[in-house]
Each structure stands twice: as C-alpha cells, then as structure tokens.
Structure 1
Amino acid sequence: MPDDPARSARFVPPTITPPEAPLPRFRAMWTLMDNPIEAWPRAVYEEPYLLRENNAQKFLYVTDPAMLKTILLDRTDAFPKDWMFERVTKPALGEGLLTAQGAHWRWQRRAAAPGFRPQNIEPMAGAMVAAAEAALGRWRERGDGARLDVAREMTAITFDVILETMLSGGEGIDAATAAKRITDYLETLGRVTPADFLQLPLWTRIALAPRGYRALVELKAMVDRMIQRRRREAARGDLVDLLMAAEDPETGRRMSNELLRDNLLTFIGAGHETTALALTWSLYLLGSVPEAAARVRAEVAEVVGEGRVIAGHVERLTFTRQVIQEAMRLYPSLPIMSRMCAEDVQVGDLAVTKGTFVFIAVYALHRHRALWRDPDAFDPDRFSAAESERRHRFAYLPFGGGPRVCIGQGFAMMEAVAVLATLVRGATLVPDPGHRIRPVVRVSMRPEGGMPMTLRL
C-alpha cells in the first residue's frame, strides 16, 4: 500500500532554536522580556524538568506529563497562579474567571459553565460558518492574487463569531476597533517589563505602556456601556444574561457590573484570540503542505457534499480537526503557564519547596523529544484515534489541564473546524516566501508581523 502523500511530504515549519545551556542572567532577563520561549535551554525539550536557582529564587521548568498531572490536577491547591501572571493580566481582566483564585473562581466557573454545554454550543455552528462565508465573500471582491494578512482576517472572523453567538450581536461593540485595541494591549501591557522583574508598583507598567492603557480604557468603556444597556433590556438567553443571573450558591452574591465586565472581557479577548491564532497557524501549515489541504477538501466533499453548507457535519470532519490539533501542538496559543509553589510538596521524584516559580513550558512540552515522534514536523495523523489513545493526557495541553482547563475549549474547537473547513473549501492561501515566520509570546503566541499570504480562488 503506498504511503499517504500527506505523511510522505515531511514539512518542518519554523521553530525556536533553543540555546544549548541556560543564558547568562542579564541576557536571559532581556530575552524573557522580548520573547520568553527563546530563553528556554535545550534541556527543557529533552529532560522531564529543569531546576535552576538564582539569588535564592528557584525556577522549575516542567515538561513531564506525570509531574504536570500533580501540579495541575492532584495538588492544584499547592500551585496557585503567581504574582507575575497577575501583574500582566489583572489590569485587563480584573477578578474575572481567568485571574480569580479559590472560592471566588469556583463560583464564577459554576456560573458560566452552562453556557458552554454541548447542547448550547452545537446550534452555534451555523453562525460560525456564516462568518467564514462572509470572509470568503470579502476575499472574492479583492480578487485572485490578493495579498491578505491572514492573522488579521482570522481575528475578524472569530470576533464576529463571539459577538454573534455569546453576546447576541454585541450592539455597541465595534468589532474592528475592539480587535485593534486588544492587539494594542497584548503588544504593550501584555509583555513582561523591567518593572515586573523589579516588582515595582502596577502604575509603573501603565506609565511604560500608554498605548496599551488607552486601549484598555476604551475596551472597558465599550463593555460597560453594553452592560448598562442590557441591564435595562429584556433577557435574550445569551452569555450576558447567564452571567447577570448567576448567583453564588453559598453567599447569594451576584456579579457586580465590574465583575461582569471582567468576565465578558475575558470571553471576548481570550475567546476570539485563541481560535484566531489556531486558524492562522493552520492555514499557514496547509498552505505549506498542499497535500494536507487537498485531504481537507476531499474530506469536506465526502462528509458535507459539494455546495452544501457545513453546519451539522463538524464532528465528522476528523482530519480537519487533526490539522487544528497539530497546529495547536506546534504553535500553542498559550505557550507557557506559570504557578507559584505555596507549600513544600513532592512532585514525582522531586521535592519542590515553597516559593518556587513553576513554569509549565507548553511549547516545549508539545515538542519534547521523549514524548513525540519527529516532534518539529507537521503531521496531523499523530492525532488519529489510535495514536491519541496511547498519549498521556498531560502531554498535550493547548487548553491547559485540570479543573482550570479552558471552559470554552469545546466552543473553540467546533469554531476552528467549521471555519477552517469552510475557508479551505473556498480558497487556497499561499504563504509569502519572503516573510520570516517568528512565533512571539505576547500572553498568547502570535506570528510576528502577522501572516501575509496570497489568495488563490
């Protein structure tokens, strides 16, 4: 039997070349501020963990699935989110679901969970496909050979989906402006600064990033106006109504306007960003491997049929889903998670002491030499049912893991598959050979300078 052409066409997309040894202190600090994943030494990709000590502060990088299970699931109480994470995210997301801890997080999670049950998100597939079809319509107007920034195009699609499905159209929120302001925030206040390393007051972060602060003020004002209007209107049954009606079962507390805003900004920002990035990287990879793109088109033709709308077919688009999964392995939207060890605890064969910074190096985990065959190559078939069954649950963490796993992962995967299938069926996108692909971390992992591609209809 001949080899599958998509598997025989081995493609290794651009990746980070790790330093052979830990960087000297000041160079490491500079690299961490510019692009943290470029500071990780090769050992992070090859060993189960790397423990370093600097000026009495311990730093632990973990890429062993069994140890990650302990940290993220079995002993999650001993590994709360750290102060660095809070400095970067709390100015934007306040006390919302992503940043809250303990009981305050638990009641918000329970409140939001019904909005993401399968029976509630499955009917949203139509809106997801419609947003992708609308983008194809815009592309056709630009004509064959048009040059597109696919990163920007995917942001527009996923923002439209969030507004339509979660916020009933999101009147008062201008999608283009809001998406631009989120980018402004991520590129400025979303970066680690010298003020963070020195633990200077939070206002110093704002002083160093006026563009990001102005973007944040505008975003919050947009959402505040929407909340005030929705408080006066009849219920629509969307996520806004669900959160407004949510009540802490222990205290009877309901969300204030401020907490409601924090959570809506979390869903708007994180909800569109992760899916937009997964689609951006997926289209780049398919553009680089035409054989894989042909398999997606063939699958859509077989499962959906020529000319029919992709809506109730998403679950059956198996290979299309594997492309998304592989893109999120190679370029995880959240390439690093961090925790602070709150007590002395045993993790595998390592005694981790209180006060240790713990870095869950997701980007390195997904390319770890001991966990993946040919880890830097693009191969969607590694997510076939047979291979996935043999894989440790904590070897693949595009949405995190444990009780704090992303609440919207089902929504995000359905959207990514529906949109990718629609776009690949309707157009071919060819990567720009002159554009350097460099993954950079700005809270999420983004392609530096966007993703220019050429449209072929």
Structure 2
Amino acid sequence: MNDEAETVPPFIPPGVIPPEEPLPFFHALWKLMDNPIETWPRAVYEEPYFLRGDDRQMFLYAADPSMLRDILLDKAEAFPKDWMFDRVTKPALGEGLLTAQGDHWRWQRRAAAPGFRPDTVAAMTPLMVSAAEAALQRWRDRGDGVRLDIATEMTGITFQVILDTMLSGGDGIDVPVAARMITDYLETLGKITPADLLQWPTWTRVALAPRGYRAMVSLKAMVDRMVAARRKSPSRDDLVEMLMQAKDPETGRQMDDVLLRDNLLTFIGAGHETTALALTWSLYLLGAHPPTAARVREEIARVAGDATITDAHVERLIFTRQVVQEAMRLYPSLPLMSRMCAEDVEAGGLKVTKGTFVFIPIYAIHRHRLLWDQPDVFDPDRFSPERSAGRHRFSYLPFGAGPRVCIGQAFAQTETVAILATLMRGAVLEPDPGHRVRPLMRVSMRPQGGMPMTLRLLTSPA
C-alpha cells in the first residue's frame, strides 16, 4: 500500500451481518426465501468449514482453499451440480453450457472457447468503449445533477456490448425489453421458493411465478426469432456462427435451434449480468470513497491522456483493475455455488458422505477471517502484485474455478476495466445518502432497489 493510501481512514461498505448461531427453523426458512446469504452463521465466515444436518440430509459449507480445490478441481467428478441449481436455472437456460453436465457440457465448452481467445477479446475492446461513450452522451443530454439508477444503466451498457461483440448486433433483440425480462425472471423464478424446498414438481415453481414465466417465454421467443433469421442470413464471424457450425467430435452432432437458443440465452443473460453488477458495485464504492476515485482518475489520465481507451490502455490500468477485483471480492456477482456429493469422498481432509449438499459460499469466502486481512474493508491495494503473491488460488472465486471456471472471465475483466475507465473520466457519481445498500441474492447478487446515484458531469478528462 502506498503512503497516500495509508493516510486514508479505512472504509467499510455495507454488507451482511451474519447471525451468531444458525437461525431457528422457521426464521431460517423465511430468510432463505428472502435473501439466502443472511442465513449463513458467523462460523461460515470464520471456520474452514461448517457442517450441519442429520441422518436424512447433511449440509457442508466449504471455505478452506484446499477443500475447495478438491471440490472444484481435483475431485470435481465426485461433486456434480445439484438438483436445486437445475430447478432455478434450467427453465430458462435448458441444456446450455451453464447447466449441462459431462460430455454434453464438454463439447459445448470446446465449441464456444474460440470466441473468448485473448486476441478475440482484445479486438472487441473498441465496441465495449463505444457502448460506454454512448451512455456518457445520454447522461450529458439529461444534464448535471440528474438522479440515475446505475444498476439499470450498467445493465443497458453491458447488454449492448454482448449484442455488438458476440451477436453482430442482435438482429431484433430489444435491449431495454430483454433486460427487463431477465430482471423479471431473476426476481421470481431466480429465487428459492417453497416449491423448491418441498421438492414439488418443477412445473409448480413456474406456476407460482407467472410474471417470471411470461418473461421467460417472451425472451425465448425473441431469441428464437433471431436464430431463425440467422439460419437464413449469410455467414458472419461471431459467436452465433461459431455455435451454429460447431460439431460434437464424438458424435458429429450439431446444435439444433433449441440448444443454440439455450446457449445464446446463457451468454446474453450471464454475460451481461455479471459484468453489469461488477460495474455497479465498483461505481458505488468509488462514489462512496472519493480518495480511491481520485487515484483511479489519476491513473487513467497518466495512462491514456485524452485518447479513447484501447486494449493497450486496459492492460496498463493496474489500479483500476484492482478496484474491480476488490469490488468483486466484496460483492461477488455469483455469491454462492452449490454441488451434490455423488460418492463418499475426502475433501480437504474431511470425509464427505454421498448425498451431502455442498455449498461454496463465495460471498463469505471473500470476507473470511482466516483468508483476508481486514476482510470487510474496501482496500483495492490488497490486489497489488506484492500483496497478491502467495494468495491461494481458491480463496478468491468471482468467476468460479476448476474446469467449469467462467468461460468469459477474460472478456468480463477487459470489458469492466474499459467501461469503468471511460465512465470515470466523464462523470462523478455520488451515492444517494438516503438509499440503503443491501446485497440481495437471487442467482446473482444485486443491490436491493437498484443503485441510485447523482450525476456530476466532468467537462474534460480528470
């Protein structure tokens, strides 16, 4: 940490206050449906693992990096995704890359991988910056002092980036409408319901969430129309074309329209949502801590001057990237992963029995007392090369880990830094002092009620 940072008082942004002990059954049940991360007891943040349950069902919260390495990498075959994950995601994403298992997942992963090579991502940077500059112009048109919901603004930017970079513009995908549909899905079908806890048939959870169901049907229809149009149009050099031409090397199978749609929905939904949230939380933290914002603007001015942000600049914006990394530590877009133990196995020295629900509480891991110094403090310098040296790979999991690590990790990191740098030198965003910032978990972790901030325009790069 540099001398300037050492003189700045520590900033502790809002977070979950864990209960000292496991909650009573009915209280836990209510919290589980409202905001699952608020049910995790303090031990999840302080012990290598937390085990509870009985002969009927055991639950393991794993936080020890060596245990996580076994679960996610070395013994990943013994810990497949669980039925609860399928219930929440498969109604929308079907058998696409995020939900598929085994060989069916592997060939889809190979098919999509070329679209995320470093050289491919680098070539997309101008489109990312262009989407941010277009947002800045919209803000200028609205005028200084306007109140913006930054969560909605970032969703719009990152959705447009996905369409421009991966889908050649989207062919009829309406960004505001599609983004609203995804929000409707996440706020209804994207949360745990009584139907899940009671293991009622999957159709019942759909019946209990008509708004989410309508959104899902409409969004699928929108993407179906795009797929139908692309089947008839000339070839283009984008992800859609890559997936259309891909073949399973074992069977020769190609993606039919349904599987193609499932994967496009995965990339549209997950691809824009995680980055939008990383940007939302980053802008909130910078707005709430002006000394760090000043350091970011100084670095941008030093690295890029007045020039449009390029991929070469992104590589040199080291501290700006650290801010994003710290935002994703404090507020990971994916706050929880889960697995089902498929066989009796040892993980991190602990014997785990077949049928155990395994929770990987990323939000708690990122704030764990055994893994991080002052874990609740906003401190981007903890990701400096010097302080990162020796940190266990499995103590920081914003993109997951192991063979199923997020395929778009490099894309998201480049996009977030490029957009953040573009916005930061054009505007100051001040948090609404009357708004309670509450991390709320659905599939992803969104700020409850959005992120209202006041716009202060900058007339020139600062």
**TM tier relative to shorter chain:** over 0.9
Q: Which amino acid in the other structure matches residue 188 of structure 1?
A: T
Taking the aligned partners of 1:308 and 1:210, their CA distance within structure 2 comes to 45
Contact 1:296 1:320 in 2 (8 A): yes
Q: Which amino acid in the other structure matches residue 431 of structure 1?
A: P
Contact 2:79 2:339 in 1 (8 A): yes
Name stretches of at least 5 consecutive residues in structure 2 with no aligned partner: 458-462
Taking the aligned partners of 2:240 and 2:422, their CA distance within structure 1 comes to 28
Correspondence 1:242 to 2:242: yes
- Structure 2 partner of 1:113: 113
- Structure 2 partner of 1:343: 343
Correspondence 1:22 to 2:8: no
Contact 1:279 1:420 in 2 (8 A): yes
Query: What SS does structure 2 have at the residue aligned with 1:255?
Result: coil
Name stretches of at least 5 consecutive residues in structure 1 with no aligned partner: none
Query: What SS does structure 2 have at the residue aligned with 1:323?
Result: helix
Deviations, residues 116-146 of structure 1 (Å, cap 9, x unaligned) = 0001111100000000000000001111110
Q: Which amino acid in the other structure matches residue 74 of structure 2?
A: D
Taking the aligned partners of 1:440 and 1:389, their CA distance within structure 2 comes to 32
- Structure 1 partner of 2:287: 287
> CA offset at residue 26 of structure 1?
1.9
- Structure 2 partner of 1:205: 205
- Structure 2 partner of 1:456: 456
- Structure 1 partner of 2:183: 183
Query: What SS does structure 2 have at the residue aligned with 1:312?
Result: helix
- Structure 2 partner of 1:313: 313
Deviations, residues 284-340 of structure 1 (Å, cap 9, x unaligned) = 000011111111111111111124444431111000100000000000000000000
> CA offset at residue 392 of structure 1?
0.1
- Structure 1 partner of 2:98: 98
Contact 2:68 2:348 in 1 (8 A): no
Query: What SS does structure 1 have at the residue aligned with 2:389?
Result: helix
Contact 1:6 1:289 in 2 (8 A): no
Q: Structure 1's 230 and 373: CA in aligned 2 closer, same or farther, altered over 3 A?
A: same
Q: Structure 1's 7 and 332: CA in aligned 2 closer, same or farther, altered over 3 A?
A: farther
Residues 9-88 of structure 1: matches in 2 within 5 Å? 9-54=9-54, 56-88=56-88
Deviations, residues 48-71 of structure 1 (Å, cap 9, x unaligned) = 000001462000000111100000
Q: Which amino acid in the other structure matches residue 439 of structure 1?
A: P
Taking the aligned partners of 2:2 and 2:218, their CA distance within structure 1 comes to 57
Taking the aligned partners of 2:121 and 2:309, their CA distance within structure 1 comes to 18
> CA offset at residue 177 of structure 1?
0.3
Taking the aligned partners of 1:349 and 1:319, their CA distance within structure 2 comes to 37
Correspondence 1:332 to 2:336: no
Taking the aligned partners of 1:232 and 1:333, their CA distance within structure 2 comes to 36
Taking the aligned partners of 1:169 and 1:406, their CA distance within structure 2 comes to 23
Q: Which amino acid in the other structure matches residue 375 of structure 2?
A: P
> CA offset at residue 9 of structure 1?
3.1
Identity fraction in percent: 72
Q: Which amino acid in the other structure matches residue 186 of structure 2?
A: L
Contact 2:343 2:353 in 1 (8 A): yes
Query: What SS does structure 1 have at the residue aligned with 2:140?
Result: helix
Single out whichever of 170-179 and 20-29 deviates more from structure 2.
20-29
Taking the aligned partners of 2:7 and 2:74, their CA distance within structure 1 comes to 37
What TM-score, normalized by structure 1, do the two folds share? Answer: 0.99
Contact 2:309 2:418 in 1 (8 A): no
Q: Structure 1's 126 and 303: CA in aligned 2 closer, same or farther, altered over 3 A?
A: same
Taking the aligned partners of 1:263 and 1:166, their CA distance within structure 2 comes to 12
> CA offset at residue 106 of structure 1?
0.5
Query: What SS does structure 1 have at the residue aligned with 2:3?
Result: coil
> CA offset at residue 4 of structure 1?
1.8
Deviations, residues 57-103 of structure 1 (Å, cap 9, x unaligned) = 00000011110000000000000000000000000000000000001
Taking the aligned partners of 1:125 and 1:237, their CA distance within structure 2 comes to 16
Q: Which amino acid in the other structure matches residue 261 of structure 2?
A: R
- Structure 2 partner of 1:165: 165
Residues 115-134 of structure 1: matches in 2 within 5 Å? 115-134=115-134
Taking the aligned partners of 2:244 and 2:2, their CA distance within structure 1 comes to 58
Contact 1:87 1:202 in 2 (8 A): yes
